[in-house]
Every structure is written in structure tokens, then in C-alpha cells.
Amino acid sequence: MGYKHVARGRGAAAAAEDPRVLDAAGQILEAGGNAVDAAVAAAAVQGVCRPMSGGLGGGGFMLVRLPGGRTVVIEHREQATAAFGPDSLLDGRGAELPPADRAVHGHAVGVPGAVRAWHEALSLYGTRTLAEALAPAVALADTGFEVDETLHREIAERRDDFALFEPTRDLYLTPGLHPVPVGSVLRNPALARAYELIGAQGPKVFYEGEIARAIVAAVNEPPAARDAADRVRPGRMTVQDLAHYTARHLEPVRYRFGGYELSGPPLPSSGALTIAEGLGLLDRLGPAPTLITCLDRYLRVSRMAFADRDAYLGDDRLVDVPAAALLTDSYLTARAASANLSEPGDLSTGGAPWMSREPDSPSTIHMTVDDGRGMTVSHTSTIISMGGSGLVVPGYGFLLNDALAGRTSFRSGVYGSTRPMARMRPLSSMAPTIVERDGEPVMALGSPGGTTIITTVLEILYLALGMGMSLAEAVEFPRVTQRNEPDGVALAEPEFLCSYGEKLGERGHRFELWRPVEGIGAAAGLEFTAGVTAVAEPVRRGGGCAAVWEV
């Protein structure tokens, strides 16, 4: 089926980055499955045809709005091993490894959460078995698919890292160690076998059985190529680390903007909390009279919200996090009146000034699905960096994440969100979001992009809910990301600079060009009016696709 980046109609709907992902969602929906069934099937297919961004080796956040209006979060962020700690990212001399030397090692891999979350989502809210939901992914991995320009480019970005590991070479590089060419058919029968095993035996095979043992072996004794064995460090993972893993079922962060009620995932995602603070500050500034005023306020508020994010947020299971204080009326009112953009606000509950940074990688991936019968899923998943750790699990065909590579031992504060801690779930920026008004759904959306997820979703929400744009108009609008970098510079797409850079410069903003060719973020969402409009990126990351099915 040929897809467009905007689709309108009545019935079920979905928006994603890849047409094969929509094929899987549509197959489930047209057969009578619900939005959770379709989301799990689509996520599994993403692991086949968008393997640099998600799949079995990663985790994420699934936001589910159930018929009747209740919204739940299935948190399945990657988790550190019991052995992970302050010495895990140090070299033999006690110095911290530079960022470039962290990702392609066993110590960077966290326990993946995707399989546990898929199984529990289906068990609690779905109508299909795990085997039925994984069937489209099994078929695609077995028969293969045509490599497009996006996948080729992503492999090329990690070619040198992929060349370190024999199974990764065999799957994604030619015998001459070049990226598999555009137009070639990529088959992954090992991944098809992994999906079949999980479908037949459930999550136990992944967390306690043969796949668990293969993951542990790959982490602790990375299958390095003969000419790269001295450049890869082992990790310290056990089968007990995998067996210990649980997906958490949490209440969402709920917040308001104008007459709208919004929901998003709680910690360890900073996405909803930071967006909630940003929109709370914007709400207190009142309506923006012009688009330039809107963009000026968005940039200032985003910088303030990131100052607080970096100061106060972390894994609230392991460190004290004053998250609720950030959203109180008294704090937001005082913060909105402050002229101090770059420093965190004064919270009466205190908070250690630690910094939490993560890669600005576009490797994360997002999809949004609605079944036309009252259930909506907004799901963001990731293997962290583009291509994760670069390590394909031998015999099972999936890339492992590098969720622990961004942690650091040397920051201020006794405990910090980036400090290596046993079984920590690293701070995330993922922000799947659902918007309601008077109890009825208005839109659902999300985006990939590391910390730019937050600014992408915040910008889209402010343009749509605050300035009256349609979701399609807000997604297409040029983007700028202000994340309180030390010099205060915001990074902007070329179209943004051409249209708004000069006027915003007159208001004191400074910009640099966002250099990655794929643009900032890659949103996918649904807007509910008389019917439903599915919206995906027209250009960014090669353009996404959207569909509406009469079911």
C-alpha cells in the first residue's frame, strides 16, 4: 500500500516512520485487533526494518489510553546490571573513558525491557497472543526487505563500530566492510528465529532461557572480529540480571495547558515533566499575540525547563527527586516571573546540582496507533545511540543497546542521575503524549531524538494548542531546540533560521545551524476532530507515513 505523510478519515489510524511498520499495524487492525495488538506488532517490525533505532535489544515507554478514558504507562527502560557501578566506565588507570570509547563495549549494555513490556501489554490490554503479534515481524525478517537510503545512511554512520564485531559485520556490512547497498535485500533469519522462540515460549526464553544466555555471553565475551579483539571491553552481566528485570505499570504525569489535559510517562523519563513545566510556564505568560512572540517565549521557557531538568531529575527509585515541586502553582508562577534563564529554580525541597546528558541521537523511534474503538497507544522505543552498542547477539540477530554509555562518575553532588549505580534506569527524554479536552482525546504524538525529543514535542504542542495550528501544520513547522547549553545557543534547522532567525536575534537569541541531515526529531501523531488525521514527518529522517483504515 502506498502511504502519504498525512491521512484523514474515520476508523483506525496510525503514523510511523516506515511503511512496513504501518503494514503490520494495518494487518492486525483490519483483522479485528486493538491498538495494543497493533502497537506490539508494529514495534516488532520496527526491530526488523528499523534495527538501528529499536527492537528486542532496547526499551522505552508505552502510553495507553484505554476505552473509557483511563491512561496507563508501561515503563520498560533498559536497566543496569547488579555489577554496574563507579568503576564500570574507567580505564585501567582509573581515568574515565571518553564518550567515544564507551558505546561499543559490553559494559555499555543495559538489560532490555521490550519483550517484557510487549508480553504484559498484550496480556493486560490486548486481544492477540504474543505469537500472533510477532508473526508479521517473523515473516519480514525471514523473507527480507529492501534496504532504503535511511537504513544505508544509518549503517554508514556506524560502519567502523560495526566492523568490530563478527555477527554485526555479517549482517550489515559487505565482505569489503562497506554498508549493505541501497536496494539490496536484507534477510535476518536469526532474528526471525528469536521472534519465533519468544512467541512460542514467552518472555521466559528471553530473560531466563537460551536467548538470555546468549545475551550474557555476548556482553561478557563480545564476539569481536579477529582484527579488533583488543579494542572491545567486556561487561559484567548475569542471567540473574535479566531474570530480575520487570516492566513497571505506572500512573502517567498529568498536567494542563489552557483547557487541555495532557498525559505522559513519569520518571525515569524526564520528557513529560520537562514539557509539563514548559507548558505550565507558557500558560502563565498568557496568549502570544504574534508568532515571533510565541517562538521567543518557547525558546526562553525551554531553556528554563532544561535548567531544572538537568539539576533535579533522575531515577526516583534510587535518588531523591523533587519532581512534584516543579509543577506546583507557586513554583511555576515564580519561575515564569524570573529573568534567570540558565540556572535552576529555587526549590524548597532542595536538590543536588547534577547534570544529566544523553546522546542527541535520532536512534529512538516513535509510532502512534488508534483502533477506532476507544484505545490509543503512543509508543516511543530505543536502543539509545544509532545502532546501539553495535553488538549483534550471535544466533539471534538483534542489536543490543548502549544505555549505560552516557553515565559518568565525575559530576557534582553525592548522587546524580548520571552516576553509575547498580540496577539504575538511566534518565530518558522520551515523551509519548496524549492530549484530551473535557475527557475526550484531542491528539496523541511523540518523537525520537535524544534530548531534542522534549523540545520537538513541546514546540509541536505549543504551536497546536497555543497558536491554533493543526497537528499537520505544527509537525511540518521548522524546528529549533534550546536545551540550556552552556553558551545559551539554540540549534535550528536551516528553514527556521531563514524565516525567524533575524527577528529572534533582535530579541537576544543566538543560533547555530543544526547539522545532521535528518532534521530535529521525527514526530508521528494522530489528531481527533470529526474523524481522525494521522500525521507523520513529510521530510525529516526520510519522511514518515500515515494511514487510516475503515474497520
Q: Which residues are catalytic?
A: 364
Q: What 8-state DSSP symbol labels residue 126? A: -
Residue 440: its H or E element: strand 440-446
* Contact call for residues 380 and 46 (beta carbons, < 8 A): no
Look at phi and psi of residue 126 and say left if phi exceeds 0, alpha if psi is from -120 to 50, else beta.
beta
Return all residues near 158 (Cβ < 8 A) that are at least 6 apart.
Answer: 52, 386, 387, 390
- Contact by Cβ (8 Å): 473, 466: no
Distance from C-alpha of 491 to C-alpha of 452, rounded to nearest angstrom:
10
User: CA-based diameter of the chain, in Å?
Assistant: 64
Q: How far apart are the first and last CA of the chain?
A: 16
CB atoms within 10 A of CB 109: 32
Please report how the helices 130-143 and 114-125 are oriented relative to each other, as an axis angle in degrees rounded to 10: 130
User: Whole-angstrom Cα distance, residue 4 to residue 189?
Assistant: 30
Residue 14 three-state SS: strand
| Cell 519532581 found at | 323
Cα-based angle 42, 59, 307 (whole degrees, multiple of 5):
120
Do 425 and 78 contact (CB within 8 A), yes or no?
yes
Q: What is the dihedral of CA 416, 418, 420, 423, to 10 degrees?
A: 90
Residue with cell 494542563: 256
DSSP 114: H
- What are the beta bridge partners of residue 547? 14
411 φ, ψ to 5°? -135, 160
Asked if residues 479 and 519 have their Cβ atoms less than 8 Å apart, the reply is yes
What lies within 8 Å, CB to CB, of 249 at 6+ separation is 72, 73, 74, 75, 120, 124
Residue 126 Cα distances to 34, 41, 207, 366, 386, angstroms: 7, 11, 22, 19, 30
Q: Are 145 and 49 in contact (CB under 8 A)?
A: yes
How far is C-alpha 276 from the geometric centre of its chain's CA atoms?
Answer: 18
Cβ-contact 481, 491 below 8 angstroms: yes
Taking the CA of residue 316 as centre, how many other CA atoms within 13 Å lie in the half-sphere pointing to its CB? Answer: 13
